[in-house]
């Protein structure tokens, strides 16, 4: 029998009775629904509970079929989680705790009815436009319906809805067959357990005002509803571990850590979360000292991932997270930061230290320093030497170190971030710890501490000296500084011992081993037995996790690795691109020019080798550079090109400007003119054919590809060529200074970088050419391949580029990377010099140290033997092994139901200095 219904605003209640009446007494209900959301059951929760059997619902999501095809089980779970978590939890919670509790009970089978949900990608079926259901009864009868007998409030009370009901066997069989086809589809996924747990959390959700949060200071109350949880993949165990450790230490005696995670493991979000917690709990401001190239990335990530407002100093005024410039008002504009968290370039310390002197005259709650290895001694000891200690940072260290040394005494907490705490010598790690120890004896101890003497401490850490074996001999190493309560149950018992009685603020135990009472001596012996493996100040204060460690270590809470392994398939390493004819001759002229120029000017190596850097990138970049040099129109490098900012040493001369080139000598002009003539006559750049071979013939374009160059001229040229080679596909160009665009079918359309990121994420753009503006802070997990059109002489850039696709959230088991270089170029010669050591170096450090840039410069200037000597100076073993990568139990923030009121949080962080 066929029945027809119309539901509209004036007749909303009959819509509710439609399902209530039919579900009463039923034993089964199969439903093809729309988008899964708690509102799906907002008014039908009680009706569904009347079913004495299983309710099965197939629904859609905005997960793409491509994601499902490429994903592992864990990645599919994450993709579905993101699809649901994008909803504002504040809005979802308004559905009411009772309704959400009923939904949770249904999903977990806590009643007579059990709800099973499977999810299909919307781009496969578009289920929002196809709704139907079949209801079964104990006597064998069934009824089916088509149309929006929608369980949502909107379906009943706000919209115009039509329903066609038919209880004939033919109709019921037809709907059931269609339901089973969708239910058993290969793309159908069971509802994520994360979604089920989130429904339960929302049923208990309570907002707490800032003043209440400041009493208990639960990190989870701030973290759980941040965008990094709602729109990204949340904080992974290694990230939560660091945040937890730093937050505990800050509340006890001040956090002093070196975060030395490998590139691509999310250092910025970890530091940003700690900065936020500290800023919310203190009246004092937070200062972040960053390389200039990272300033904008930091500000974007703070807002996009954590919804944390901040301001960055652009040299003349403060710029907030919305891009609004705050004009200076007083005599010290740098102290007029309009946000609680302020970002300042480290370059100011080098080039205009007087402008920052005022920062040393106030108190800070936290100071964060990214790329902290730039703070160094002027001269390192020999490879086998282990000291001496720093006596005068102003004369023995560079300007950045000397400034931070003074700043350390003005802040409660200080966090240093660097993937390479050791670049050339183990003393560099001790130097950073010594910096952290200023005004905080918990780092290296107080007067009399063995750890304050690197000649005594480093041999023990490096395994070069025999360790003491007896507890009474180990105890002097243990007691100064003494481990915190949370680090060891033995440390906790000893701190609470009636004779010792140390609170968390106390850094030193004054009792000798023989002065301990017998019970305490037993606990001390247990602590001493594991001290050098687990509790030294180096292990305590340096937190370093490598990708290999996280991918190969099982998380006991899940039985899975801490991080889903992502392999690397490397291409082009043994296949440099031959250059012949005019191009080969042009390159020789460029080499001669750089060597000649190097003899004349005193500027640092970056400027001396500029032409070789650019000609090694592409013929197009070489042509434009030579023309500009001859025309004296070589403009300062744009923000998306390599600027040599890593050379932040006080010995760096200040004449490294473009003006140092001129006037050119007659010999230099002659070399440039010959180079220009040869480049104009050169044939098509051979790099292009290799790029097209991989993209077209090897199908890399089908997997999605990001192509990197350090120069805009090269990136723009490649994007234009790809647009012609792939006329049906849009090609994205990602750069700084408003140069980003889409090229498609002969047209160029300017695009904001945020729009390009969105298009890649939504699979609307599968080929993107980027300058190194794209190498930092850009998440490209949807792409599976990467082509380095050129090799940046600062090796860290290679790691940053790779981190765009080999990162948390990548759904492929491995990604493919192609490195291009011309045969017999500087890049090729350096590759030959490094070939025997490169894998060893990477295995030691987890990335290539910045200092290797000097080797590229020396090779370019013909000093190959000197380059080899520099390479031999690198350590042969890593002073930081897996002891520094431990992850202990972390808090389950995902179940945290008390959340900090969002508006109050933002208002607090918008308070100025």
pLDDT in tens, 289-340: 999 878 988 998 999 899 999 999 999 999 999 999 999 988 889 999 999 9
Closest CA to 22 of 156, 169, 116, 143: 143
Q: Is 34 helix (H, G, I), strand (E, B) or coil?
A: strand
Find the DSSP H helices in 357-508. 393-396, 399-407, 427-436, 454-461, 471-479, 489-496
Q: What is the pLDDT of residue 896?
A: 92
Whether the CA torsion 196, 201, 205, 211 is positive or negative: it is negative
Q: What is the DSSP letter of 558?
A: T
Q: What is the pLDDT of residue 646?
A: 36
Q: Are 342 and 286 in contact (CB under 8 A)?
A: yes
Identify each DSSP E strand in 371-451 by its residue range: 411-417
Q: What is the pLDDT of residue 650?
A: 32
Q: What is the pLDDT of residue 641?
A: 46
Q: What is the pLDDT of residue 12?
A: 46
Which CB contacts under 8 angstroms, 24+ apart, belong to 698-702? 700/784, 700/785, 700/787, 700/816, 700/818, 701/726, 701/729, 701/766, 701/767, 702/766
Q: What is the pLDDT of residue 42?
A: 52
Q: Which residues contact 306 (CB under 8 A, 6 or more apart)?
A: 226, 227, 228, 269, 272, 273, 276
Residues 606-642 have pLDDT tens digits of 677 888 889 999 999 999 999 988 887 765 444 344 4
Instruction: Give the chain's residues under pLDDT 70.
Output: 7-16, 35-46, 66-75, 95, 125-130, 148-159, 603-606, 634-658, 737, 775-778, 808-809, 835-851, 873-882
Strands 567-571 and 814-819: parallel
Residue with tokens 């978590």: 85
Q: How far apart are CA 851 and CA 842, in angstroms?
A: 13
Q: What is the pLDDT of residue 8?
A: 61
The pTM for the full model equals 0.84
* 170 phi and psi angles, rounded to 5 deg: -60, -45
Whether the CA torsion 118, 122, 125, 130 is positive or negative: it is positive
* Upstream peptide bond of 414 is cis (omega within 30 degrees of 0): no
CA distances from 847 to 269, 425, 852 (A): 20, 16, 11
Q: Are 28 and 54 in contact (CB under 8 A)?
A: yes
Q: What is the pLDDT of residue 827?
A: 86
Closest CA to 842 of 538, 618, 573: 573
Q: Give exposure, 9-24, as e/b (b: 16+ Cβ within 10 Å).
A: eeebeebbebbeebbe
| Size of the chain, expressed as the number of residues it contains | 913
**What is the H or E stretch that residue 101 is in?**
helix 97-107
């Amino acid at each position: 029998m066929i029945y027809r219904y119309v539901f509209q605003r004036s007749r909303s209640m009959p819509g509710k009775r439609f399902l209530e009446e039919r579900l009463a007494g039923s034993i089964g209900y199969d439903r093809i629904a729309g988008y899964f959301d708690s509102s799906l059951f907002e008014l039908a929760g009680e009706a569904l509970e009347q079913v004495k059997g299983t309710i099965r619902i197939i629904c859609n999501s905005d997960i793409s079929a491509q994601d499902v095809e490429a994903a592992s089980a864990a990645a599919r779970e994450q993709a579905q989680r993101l699809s649901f978590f994008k909803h504002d939890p504040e809005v979802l919670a308004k559905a009411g705790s009772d309704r959400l509790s009923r939904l949770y009970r249904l999903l977990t089978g806590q009643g007579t009815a059990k709800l099973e949900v499977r999810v299909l990608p919307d781009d496969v079926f578009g289920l929002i436009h196809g709704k139907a259901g079949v209801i079964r009864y104990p006597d064998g009868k069934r009824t089916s319906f088509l149309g929006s007998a929608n369980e949502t409030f909107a379906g009943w009370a706000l919209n115009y809805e039509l329903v066609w009901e038919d209880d004939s066997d033919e109709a019921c069989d037809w709907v059931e067959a269609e339901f089973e086809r969708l239910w058993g589809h290969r793309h159908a996924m069971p509802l994520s357990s994360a979604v089920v747990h989130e429904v339960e959390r929302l049923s208990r959700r309570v907002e707490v005002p800032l003043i209440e949060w400041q009493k208990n200071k639960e990190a989870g109350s701030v973290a759980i509803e941040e965008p990094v949880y709602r729109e990204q993949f949340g904080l992974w165990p290694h990230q939560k571990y660091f945040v937890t450790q730093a937050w505990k230490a800050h509340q006890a005696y001040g956090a002093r850590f070196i975060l030395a995670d490998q590139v691509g493991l999310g250092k910025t979000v970890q530091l940003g979360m700690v900065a936020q917690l500290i800023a919310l709990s203190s009246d004092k401001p937070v200062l972040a000292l960053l390389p200039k190239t990272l300033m904008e990335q930091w500000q974007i990530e703070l807002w996009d991932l954590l919804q944390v407002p901040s301001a960055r100093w652009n040299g003349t005024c403060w710029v907030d997270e919305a891009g609004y410039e705050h004009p200076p008002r007083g005599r010290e504009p740098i102290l007029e930061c309009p946000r609680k968290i302020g970002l300042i370039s480290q370059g100011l310390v080098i080039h205009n230290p007087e402008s920052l002197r005022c920062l040393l005259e106030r108190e800070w709650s936290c100071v964060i320093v990214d790329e902290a290895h730039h703070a160094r001694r002027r001269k390192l000891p020999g490879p086998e030497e282990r000291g001496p200690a720093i006596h005068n940072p102003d004369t023995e260290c560079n300007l950045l170190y000397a400034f931070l040394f003074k700043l350390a005494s003005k802040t409660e907490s200080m966090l240093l971030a660097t993937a390479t705490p050791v670049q050339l010598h183990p003393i560099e790690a001790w130097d950073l710890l010594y910096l952290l120890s200023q005004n905080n004896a918990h780092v290296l101890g107080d007067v009399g501490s063995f750890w304050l003497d690197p000649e005594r401490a480093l041999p023990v850490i490096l395994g070069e000296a025999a360790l003491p074996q007896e507890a009474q001999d180990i105890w002097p190493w243990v007691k100064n500084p003494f481990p915190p309560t949370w680090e060891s149950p033995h440390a906790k018992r000893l701190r609470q011992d009636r004779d010792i009685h140390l609170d968390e603020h106390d850094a030193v135990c004054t009792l000798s081993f023989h002065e301990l009472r017998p019970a305490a001596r037993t606990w001390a012996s247990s602590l001493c037995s594991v001290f050098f493996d687990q509790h030294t100040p180096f292990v305590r204060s340096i937190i370093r996790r490598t990708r290999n460690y996280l991918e190969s270590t099982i998380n006991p809470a899940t039985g899975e690795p801490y991080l889903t392994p992502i392999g690397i398939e490397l291409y082009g390493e043994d296949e440099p691109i031959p250059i012949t004819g005019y191009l080969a001759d042009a390159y020789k002229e460029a080499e001669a020019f750089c060597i000649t120029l190097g003899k004349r000017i005193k500027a640092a190596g970056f400027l001396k080798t500029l032409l070789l850097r650019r000609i090694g990138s592409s013929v197009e970049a070489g042509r434009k550079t030579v023309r500009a040099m001859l025309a004296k129109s070589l403009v300062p490098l744009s923000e998306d090109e390599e600027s040599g900012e890593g050379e932040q040493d006080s010995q760096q001369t200040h004449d490294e400007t473009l003006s140092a080139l001129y006037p050119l000598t007659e010999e230099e002009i002659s070399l440039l003119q010959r180079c220009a003539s040869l480049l104009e006559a050169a044939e098509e750049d051979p790099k292009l054919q290799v790029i097209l071979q991989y993209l077209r013939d090897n199908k890399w374009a089908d997997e999605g590809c990001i192509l990197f160059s350090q120069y805009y001229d090269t990136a723009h040229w490649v994007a234009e060529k790809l647009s012609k080679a792939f006329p049906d596909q849009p090609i994205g160009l990602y750069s700084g200074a408003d140069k980003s665009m889409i090229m498609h079918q002969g047209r160029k359309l300017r695009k904001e970088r945020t729009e390009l990121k969105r298009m890649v994420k939504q699979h609307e753009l599968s080929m993107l050419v980027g300058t190194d503006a794209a190498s930092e802070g850009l998440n490209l997990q949807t792409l599976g391949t990467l082509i380095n059109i050129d090799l940046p002489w600062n090796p860290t850039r290679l790691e940053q580029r790779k981190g765009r696709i080999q990162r948390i959230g990548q759904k492929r088991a491995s990604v493919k990377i192609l490195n291009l270089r011309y045969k017999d170029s500087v890049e090729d010669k350096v590759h030959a010099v490094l070939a025997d050591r490169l894998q060893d170096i990477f295995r030691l450090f987890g990335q290539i140290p910045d200092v290797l840039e000097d080797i590229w410069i020396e090779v370019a200037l013909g000093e190959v033997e000197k380059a080899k000597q520099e390479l031999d100076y690198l350590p042969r073993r890593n002073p930081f092994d897996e002891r520094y990568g431990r992850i202990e139990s972390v808090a389950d923030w995902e179940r945290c139901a008390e959340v900090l009121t969002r508006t109050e949080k933002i208002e607090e962080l918008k308070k100025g200095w």
